[in-house]
């Protein structure tokens, strides 16, 4: 059965142009193929959910009942879908093309991986960063996932689980922490001998190899459902253990037993840091960990450059917590705060990468990484007061992104890729291209003495264009990283909390 075929038939049905022959074909698919019925129902449920949220069609979404089906369960399922759609019809409507709604539904994955460590699966594998319906066995690692319904799960390996739909997961082994948004209220976790239903909460569920299980409620409450027993409510701050048929209260909840998106994200970043710092083209890599031997310097830990490049020298900024409480960053907050470094040599191409969080804007422009001079071929990288990224190579080109791509008060990943051989420069925010510029020059690309967080001109005794905020990580590569690599760097470093707004949220 082709999902593409049934999706095309559903498009035609919504447009009201289904022919007799096409009706018979859709009838045959739905009455004879369980996979087709499951796919159809998932799409109808999603469309009704989009309607409930205010993205409703200009005319009602049809529910197609097979002409020749005599399967009671299938008829009941279709009836339930129809009821759901009729119920949401009372919600306020915002006209949107029905075909666009269905197309959006058909490409929206049920579960998307939004962060994780070096995980490994046996059997069914993730489709890139997507988990489809099915049973998975994760042998090691940890992942954070986001369900289409709005539920978010942090899963520790080893784990065995089956994704049923965007409101239901079965857990046979491992630990998961569940965060449920209002749109996913009622999310269900099934473990051997029990169902755990969300009532608006954050909770942890674990299953051991002997099939005993535990439930720990961190916020809100859950409903525990067991065959032959009355439903039980487990409130915030309480935990129970299911041993055989007995449900036993535990002395206290164990928050440390379950990973969080933040802890998974930190471990993932620590793994990726090793890869990026040891990239053969890495010439500068500052992670801004405190240098206990010389607090006034920032260690350049690029694997290829320890003998050829000096470390950064701190002039004013202080160490504070970065994207994670356990990780350090530099705070640029007063006077002429900046870091001096030297990047010698000439480049055919280069890539710059930085994680930063601006707290306020006090000048017309704010330096990220600037050369101390204005020599031909030198690259300047800065942020304008209106939130535009402004960059360029002296006497070659200048380029600005649209306004407000760089936000105040949130962590963002900024990157610049400049390649003289192809004559292209590309600038990114959170893995997305925000500006490009074609150029041609015989001038070599150079840096030399530079300042981070301010522009300290060699022709002046003071700084200008002062950055105000935190810088968590800085890297310079002597090659043009690909768009996929830039996205990977962003994803590797973005898992620092459930409140982070990425493109998956």
| Number of neighbouring beta carbons within 10 Å of residue 45 | 20
Return the closest-CA partner of residue 204 out of 176, 171, 234.
176
Round to whole Å and give the CA distance between 48 and 50: 5
SS3 67: coil
pLDDT at 125: 94
> DSSP for 394-420?
TTTEEEEPPTTSSPBSS-EEEEEEEET
* Six-digit token string for 465: 């264009």
Enumerate residues 6+ apart whose C-beta is below 8 A from 112: 129, 130, 131, 145, 146, 148, 504
Per-residue model confidence as pLDDT tens for the chain (505 residues) = 455 676 677 767 766 666 766 776 777 677 667 666 666 666 665 555 444 444 333 334 444 444 444 444 444 444 444 443 443 333 333 333 333 434 444 446 889 998 887 789 999 999 888 999 999 999 999 999 999 999 999 999 899 999 999 899 999 999 999 999 888 899 999 999 999 999 988 999 999 999 999 999 999 999 999 988 999 999 999 999 998 778 999 999 999 999 999 999 999 999 999 999 999 999 999 999 998 888 999 999 998 655 556 799 999 999 999 999 999 999 999 999 999 999 999 999 999 999 999 999 999 999 999 999 888 999 999 999 999 999 999 999 999 999 999 999 999 999 999 999 999 999 999 999 999 999 999 999 999 999 999 998 776 667 899 999 999 999 999 999 999 999 999 988 988 864 433 333 3
Contact (CB, 8 A) for 435 and 414: no
pTM of the shown model? 0.72
Return the closest-CA partner of residue 29 out of 15, 16, 17, 43.
43
> In a 10 Å sphere around its CB, with 0-12 CB exposed, 13-18 middle and 19+ buried, how is residue 494 labelled?
buried
Return the closest-CA partner of residue 337 out of 354, 362, 309.
362
Angle, CA of 446, 452 and 456, to the nearest 5°: 80
Detail the DSSP E strand segments found in 308-444: 312-315, 318-321, 328-332, 338-347, 349-358, 365-371, 379-384, 389-393, 397-400, 412-419, 424-429, 432-438
> DSSP for 231-292?
-EEEETT-EEEEETTEEEE-SS--GGGS--HHHHHHHHHHHHHHHHHTSTTEEEEE-----S
Contact (CB, 8 A) for 406 and 358: yes
| Number of neighbouring beta carbons within 10 Å of residue 11 | 16
* Six-digit token string for 105: 């539904």
Round to whole Å and give the CA distance between 268 and 117: 4
pLDDT at 313: 95
Place of tokens 């006077």: 335
Round to whole Å and give the CA distance between 462 and 335: 10
pLDDT at 60: 41
Kindly state the greatest CA–CA separation across the chain.
86
Round to whole Å and give the CA distance between 340 and 297: 9
What b/e sequence results for 90-113 when a residue is b if at least 16 CB atoms lie within 10 Å of its CB, and e otherwise? eeeeeebebeebbeebbeebbbbb
């Amino acid at each position: 059965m082709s999902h593409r075929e049934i999706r095309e038939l559903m498009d035609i049905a919504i447009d009201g142009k289904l022919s007799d022959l096409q009706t018979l074909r859709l009838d045959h698919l739905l009455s004879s193929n369980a996979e087709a019925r499951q796919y159809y129902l998932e799409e109808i449920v999603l469309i009704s959910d989009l309607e409930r949220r205010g993205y409703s069609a200009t005319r009602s979404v049809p529910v197609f009942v097979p002409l020749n089906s005599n399967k009671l369960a299938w008829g009941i399922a279709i009836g339930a879908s129809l009821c759901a759609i009729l119920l949401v019809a009372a919600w306020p409507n915002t006209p949107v093309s029905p075909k666009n709604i269905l197309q959006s539904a058909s490409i929206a994955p049920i579960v998307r991986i939004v962060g994780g460590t070096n995980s490994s699966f046996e059997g069914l594998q993730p489709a890139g960063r997507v988990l489809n319906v099915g049973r998975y066995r994760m042998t090691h690692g940890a992942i954070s996932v986001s369900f289409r319904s709005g539920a978010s799960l942090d899963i520790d390996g080893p784990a065995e689980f089956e994704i049923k739909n965007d409101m239901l997961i079965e857990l046979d082994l491992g630990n998961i922490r569940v965060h449920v948004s209002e749109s996913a209220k009622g999310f269900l976790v099934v473990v051997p001998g029990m169902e755990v239903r969300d009532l608006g909460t954050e909770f942890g569920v674990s299953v051991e190899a002997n099939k005993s299980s535990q439930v720990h409620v961190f916020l809100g409450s859950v409903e525990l459902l067991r065959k032959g027993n009355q439903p039980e409510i487990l409130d915030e701050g309480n935990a129970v253990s299911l041993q055989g048929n007995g449900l036993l209260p535990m002395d206290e909840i164990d928050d440390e037993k379950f990973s969080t998106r933040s802890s998974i994200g930190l471990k993932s970043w620590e793994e990726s840091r090793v890869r990026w710092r040891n990239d053969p083209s890495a010439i500068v890599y500052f992670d801004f960990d405190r240098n206990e031997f010389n607090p006034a310097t920032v260690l350049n830990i690029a694997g290829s450059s320890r003998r050829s490049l000096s470390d950064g020298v701190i002039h004013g900024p202080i160490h504070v917590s970065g994207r994670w409480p356990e990780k350090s960053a530099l705070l640029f907050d007063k006077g002429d705060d900046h870091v001096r470094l030297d990047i010698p040599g000439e480049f055919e191409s280069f890539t710059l990468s930085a994680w930063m969080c601006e707290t306020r804007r006090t000048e017309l422009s704010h330096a990220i990484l600037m050369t101390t001079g204005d020599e031909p071929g030198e690259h300047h990288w800065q942020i304008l007061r209106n939130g535009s990224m402004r960059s360029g190579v002296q006497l070659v080109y200048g380029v600005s992104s649209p306004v407000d791509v760089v936000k105040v008060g949130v962590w963002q990943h900024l990157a610049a890729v400049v390649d003289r051989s192809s004559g292209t420069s590309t600038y990114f925010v959170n893995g997305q291209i925000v500006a490009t510029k074609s150029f041609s020059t015989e001038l070599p690309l150079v840096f030399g003495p530079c300042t981070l967080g301010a522009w300290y001109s060699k022709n002046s005794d003071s700084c200008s264009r002062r950055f105000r905020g935190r810088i968590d990580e800085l890297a310079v590569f002597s090659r043009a990283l690909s768009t996929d690599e830039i996205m990977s760097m962003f994803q590797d470093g973005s898992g620092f909390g459930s409140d982070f707004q990425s493109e998956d949220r």
